[in-house]
Amino acid sequence: MDHIRVWSEVDLAEIQNHIITVDDKFGFCPGCREMGIKLEGLKTCPKCGREFKYVTAHESRGTKGFEMIGRIRKKLPHMIFVDFDDYERISGKKKAESLFNV
């Protein structure tokens, strides 16, 4: 199956509350800051119990990034992959808006 980026309106808070950041082998829970989480069969954080529905990766750009996304999708097929750049851009924008009460 092929991968294609699809844009849709989403609830950012829903994603923030259920996302894990990963590399090829391990994950990081932004809720409790647990590092080194094994990916195989992962559904919740082993430390805080946060349910993961979404996954993102810093290194998801270019040809090597697409290959890494494919490997992550094989390990976590039940999760929705979120583009890291989009996620960081929108999260940063929302943080700035809340600081300046926009």
Asked whether residue 4 carries a pLDDT value surpassing 80, the answer given is no
Asked whether residue 1 carries a pLDDT value surpassing 80, the answer given is no
Query: Is residue 6 domain-resident?
Result: no
Residue tagged 């976590």 (tokens) = 76
Phi-psi region of 25 (alpha: psi -120 to 50; beta: other; left: phi over 0): alpha
Alpha carbons 37 and 44: distance in angstroms, whole number: 10
**pLDDT in the model for residue 49:** 97
Query: Is residue 46 domain-resident?
Result: yes
Global model pTM greater than 0.95: no
Query: Is residue 2 domain-resident?
Result: no
Query: Is residue 66 domain-resident?
Result: yes
Task: Give the domain extent around 66.
Answer: 12-99
**pLDDT in the model for residue 69:** 87
**pLDDT in the model for residue 68:** 87
pLDDT one-digit tens code per residue, 44-69: 999 999 999 999 998 877 777 888 88
What is the C-alpha end-to-end distance of the chain, expressed in Å?
42
Question: Whole-number mean pLDDT of the chain?
Answer: 90
**pLDDT in the model for residue 67:** 85
